[in-house]
Amino acid sequence: MERVEELLKAPVTIIDDPNGKKLDSFRNNIEFRKCASPTKDVTILENINLVVGKGRTIALVGSSGAGKSTLADLVPRFHDVTSGELLIDGVISRTIPSAPSGTDEHRNTRTHPL
Ligand SMILES: Nc1ncnc2c1ncn2[C@@H]1O[C@H](COP(=O)(O)OP(=O)(O)OP(=O)(O)O)[C@@H](O)[C@H]1O
Ligand SMILES: [Mg+2]
């Protein structure tokens, strides 16, 4: 129970750009450009360069703990890169709201965890 409370009270580390605009469509590709680890303490990802075209299927292959989930989690902004950029149709992902903005559900989830 203490662990659950700890998680619920954990600070939100994803900061949304107040001037960011949501993407209304996805047309071309997702690009990882020199992306590095999402944590400052440990290097999980380093200098990741990858372009994934819309509609393409790719496989991330590596041993357990290699960083596959960490890499995939950058796309929905479960965490952000510490250097480099993730671009979606050329738009820097850090400028795209991390969840549908302007909804009560979004606001409650992120700033008033239970
Ligand atoms: N927020 C975090 N802070 C510190 N270390 C983390 C964090 N998230 C993941 N890690 C560590 O990063 C490494 C990569 O984890 P990740 O879950 O991305 O691996 P994976 O390739 O998806 O593994 P699996 O095949 O088991 O799913 C692991 O050593 C993990 O313990
Ligand atoms: Mg995984």
In three-state form (DSSP H/G/I as H, E/B as E, the rest C), the secondary structure along 54-74 is: CCCCCCCCCCCCCCHHHHHCC
Judged by its nearest atom, the ligand closest to the C-alpha of residue 61 is: 1
DSSP label of 50: E
Please list every protein residue whose CB sits less than 6 Å from any atom of ligand 1: 39, 42, 44, 62, 64-70
Residue 99 lies in a domain: yes
Check residue 112 and give its pLDDT: 36
DSSP label of 102: T
Expressed as residue numbers, the domain containing 39 is 2-103
Residue 16 lies in a domain: yes
Residue 38 lies in a domain: yes
The model's pTM: 0.78
| Contacts for 1 with CB less than 8 Å, ≥ 6 apart | none
Name the residue with tokens 């596959």.
68
Beta bridge partners of 86: 32
Digit-coded pLDDT (tens) for 33-84: 999 987 778 889 999 999 999 999 999 999 999 999 999 999 988 888 999 9
Pocket test for ligand 1, best of 69, 79, 81 (most atoms within 8 A of CB): 69
Give distance in angstroms: CA of 27 to centre of ligand 1. Answer: 30
How far is the C-alpha of 83 from the C-alpha of 66, rounded, in Å?
19
**Count: domains in the chain:** 1
Residue 25 lies in a domain: yes
Residue 97 lies in a domain: yes
Residue 8 lies in a domain: yes
The whole-number average pLDDT for the span 13-38 is: 87
CATH number at residue 26: 3.40.50.300
Higher pLDDT among residues 20 and 95, named by residue: 95
Residue 114 lies in a domain: no
